[in-house]
Structure 1
């Protein structure tokens, strides 16, 4: 897992690398700038482009000056370097790089306090004004400059962090931030890149390795972690000779009403295609024909009106509850019965989450180690209104510990909060997956993995990753604008096989 650091921890890691590699700070800046330029020239190979590099007078500006020098060395000759001189202060590394540029005879323009901005004729803007150390919204000349750059509506590539953007903590929705088409960030994504508040400011980002001491990064024990493919490859267990359906567990999916059988079918399909040895769906009698037609491999327990279904609890390795279940008295009675009779971890989604939110007495009966899979609105119903995603991130940590549960909060970078105080961000998925029923498939996948004797933590990590990975494999090569949940469920065995190859 890749640890994600706060701004303070980033500074600590930089200082440790400088002191213990050992290298000078200017050499670390050189290394970072070289990594930026390596990615930039692959993305923008046209050396005739007019490029404006906006630099502050701190170390982010020092990066910008070094980047301009290196681009010039790579024969990008139409460079316009602008320095925002809004303070008399400048870092030593900024001054060193400024001196190097002056010796090369490159054009430098200084932007002064309250002065008019020069005409901007560039094709691309590189933003190296302010970096990750920002701790308050932009004001004064920097706010004025950021607003001006945004009004130009030119492609912007930000160095490490867009100017005005907080790398962690709550983001002021009214703050002015330079809108970046691409952020080339150093070493690892910043935590707030992975939260929805980044969307208005960052179209995409790319992390480049600059050689920060990874052992020291790990020693900081950040609770925020980024899931990588290599992590999932280590967790997945291939099927062995002489195994059978009993080896891979019997999962029960409790879902569906007459009008919402699609949710039951999709969650059951996710469970079966993710590899449960046996999958049984507890569905209303009116949905039996649909179930048998859609997936004859799924067995059924039929719910008849107000009559509670007869369930032999001990035969099931785990239970997934909620997709399309409804919120009537029968649904509440069924969930109450499950919690009263079944003590192993379960997966709770959709209507089951809403029933839990409206009947808080049920919290005491939720089995330890259970997995909740809310989207944002369900999360807020469960745990109260939140003003922003940073607050939800902190609440997920608190509630996972408090209730000894796992919370899978669904989004572009779905986050998983665990009872031991960690939050994992998923690295797969794409906008083509934004279709109704995707969450139902995910519920089935996680339920299936629990049935196969993966731990709740492993089931969450693997489940969200392969769910997103299958969507990526369907959407990306074919440039599909929409991936349907049923397609994704059927693709799961292929995705898992590739990861275990």
Structure 2
């Protein structure tokens, strides 16, 4: 699913109005009626006080349409007009007149703090104050109104965009932004819905297809995509009946040090569970019995060192190499990574301490094979690309890093971002239970396995991240967020693939 800018969505509105021969008011009615339908489907006429806060632009017009339908269906509705200017949009005025015809009470005008209503925890608040076009912070008494709504403990639903949130920049620490419990957004997701600094304002998210022109949406350029099941289905390659283990790649998983062999074991388990034909684990001698016992399906090679890695295994050939989990950053570990980089001509996956070694030895970046994959968490990323001002700046730094070094960066988080030069792929599977030790090691194993199975490295990253999240969702469904372990995620990758197969067959 394409992620579009505010300007692109505005243009889509205009083109749709022109080609569908409708008015902007009719488009507003269509979109806002869908919002009402979703609310009505959930409330089912429950006697809950509904308080609708409308700005005086088109987002406010959406709110007026929703309020009108709620009133006509018997809900207890109070409408407040947030009067931050004397100007009103034409569609707002048209729907204001329609609302007055169905309501016994005219909307209350809020012109300052004395007009603020009382809000109770049991209220249902609809935020339609400012939409996607906001370009400056909410200030003065309007900021105090936002604070009142946030502190009320009322359930808050935002229409299209939480008021105060910008579509193309991160709000300041002191800026007033609605903290929505649920956001119903129109037609296409906005990138701020998924950034770590802004996603908490959005709450649960639903994207609503309001019927904008299909041809225009198909042709409009975008380099940022939200990845869901529909997006990854075409990427998945089903196995041929007439095949053998040699068809699915030989993965070399290298890492570990004394006390950190478990990380490599998790990565290798995930690689095998994802379909690697052959998996060799290369570890210090101290981990031999652990891996050989814990994962009999894997082959084990040991370094000459007892407690850490120091070199590449002599005369060994693999289809893909994964390096870094638990390997440490000692001088011998640096030597080991350098020997791996010199030995490999195929894309590698570098994770964990492998990334920390790269950040301390930047000359090694030039040795990375083209389209190698780096999988940093935010701390590891900062050591690679430097400090950033905000999440938008961070994305620019990562894109520049990807282009300069010819690598794909998988930036782990609640919504993992896969960045390939100027392209961004935002994952939409996964859950908070995956915030657990070893989860990243499992992700590395999944992606490594897919590369070994001859998936293009970018496809392996995007598909692997989605499978990792889906497996985490399956794990959480069984045991709850708190009980998810990294090993559960690895063991449930097969069920994640089954979910895809259900859609394909």
Structure-to-structure mapping, 1:395-434, within 5 angstroms: 395-419=397-421, 421-434=422-435
Report the more deviating stretch, 457-466 or 214-223: 214-223
- What's the CA shift for 1:67? 0.2
State the 1:307 CA deviation: 6.0
Cα pair 2:130 2:162 within 8 Å, conserved: yes
CA distance in 2, matches of 1:32, 1:431: 31
Report if aligned partners of 2:119, 2:149 keep a CA contact under 8 Å in 1: no
Match of 1:321 in 2: 323
Tell me whether 1:336 sits opposite 2:338 in the alignment: yes
Q: Is the 8 A contact 1:47 1:75 kept in 2?
A: no
Instruction: Name the structure 2 match of 1:495.
Output: 496
Which residues of 2 match residues 458-497 of structure 1 at below 5 A? 458-476=459-477, 478-497=479-498
Deviation of 1:325 (Å): 0.8
Larger CA deviation: 148-157 vs 325-334: 148-157
> Cα distance, 1:309 vs. partner?
4.6
For 2:396 and 2:249, the matched residues in 1 are separated by 34
Cα distance in 2, alignment partners of residues 185 and 234 from structure 1: 26
Matched, 1:351 2:353: yes
SS across alignment from 1:476: helix
Alignment of 1:283-302 (within 5 A): 283-302=283-302
- Cα distance, 1:350 vs. partner? 0.4
Judged with a 3 Å threshold, the aligned counterparts in structure 2 of structure 1 residues 204 and 328 are, in CA distance, closer, same or farther, namely same
2:177 aligns to what? 177
Distance 1:292 1:354 in 2: 28
1:91-130 matches, cutoff 5 A:
91-107=89-105, 108-113=107-112, 115-120=114-119, 123-130=123-130
- 1:220 corresponds to which residue? 220
Check the 8 A contact 2:53/2:81 in 1, yes or no: yes
1:140 counterpart residue number: 140
8 Å CA contact 1:237, 1:500 repeated in 2: no
Name the residue aligned to 2:266.
Answer: 266
CA distance in 2: counterparts of 1:482 and 1:387, whole angstroms = 35
Aligned to 1:312: 315
Q: Write the distance in 2 (CA, Å) between the matches of 1:310 and 1:186.
A: 54
Q: State whether residues 119 and 154 of structure 2, in contact with CA within 8 Å, keep that contact through their aligned partners in structure 1.
A: no
CA contact (8 A) 1:3 1:218 kept: no
Whether contact under 8 Å (2:436, 2:486) holds in the other structure is: yes
**Cα distance, 1:388 vs. partner?**
2.0
Cα separation, 1, equivalents of 2:214 and 2:396: 25
Deviation at 1:174, TM superposition (A): 2.1
Answer yes or no: is the 8 Å Cα contact 1:413–1:425 preserved in 2.
Answer: yes
SS at match of 1:347: strand
Quote the Cα distance in structure 1 between the aligned partners of 2:114 and 2:377.
47
Instruction: Give runs of aligned pairs for residues 49-198 of structure 1, distance below 5 A.
Output: 49-76=48-75, 78-107=76-105, 108-113=107-112, 115-120=114-119, 123-198=123-198
Which structure's relative contact order is higher, taking Cα pairs within 8 Å and 6+ residues apart? Answer: 1
CA contact (8 A) 1:435 1:482 kept: no
Corresponding residue of 1:361 = 363
Matches within 5 A, 1:240-259: 240-259=240-259
Is residue 2:437 matched to residue 1:436? yes
Tell me by how many angstroms 1:50 deviates: 0.8
State the Cα distance separating 1:235 from its structure 2 match: 1.1
1:137 aligns to what SS in structure 2? coil
Task: Give yes or no for contact 1:254–1:281 (8 Å, CA) kept in 2.
Answer: yes
Q: Show the counterpart of 2:452.
A: 451
Does the CA contact (< 8 Å) of 1:319 and 1:346 recur in 2?
Answer: yes
Task: Report what 1:202 is aligned to.
Answer: 202
TM-score norm. by structure 1 comes to 0.96
By how many angstroms is 1:273 displaced? 0.6
State the partner residue of 1:11. Answer: 10
Report how far residue 114 of structure 1 moved. Answer: 5.4
Question: By how many angstroms is 1:288 displaced?
Answer: 0.6
Q: Contact 1:6/1:167 (CA < 8 Å) preserved in 2? A: yes
Which residue of the partner structure matches residue 392 of structure 1? 394
User: Structure 1 pair 54/477, CA: closer, same or farther in 2 (3 Å)?
Assistant: farther
Residue 200 of structure 1 and its aligned partner are, at CA, apart by 4.1
Q: Any gaps of 5 or more consecutive residues in structure 2?
A: none
Q: Secondary structure at the match of 1:196?
A: coil
1:490 CA displacement = 1.2
Q: How many residues align?
A: 497
CA distance in 1, matches of 2:245, 2:476: 31
Q: What is the alpha-carbon distance in structure 2 between the residues aligned to residue 467 and residue 397 of structure 1? A: 23
Q: What is the Cα deviation at residue 467 of structure 1?
A: 0.3
Gaps of 5+ in 1: none
Helix, strand or coil at the partner of 2:482:
coil
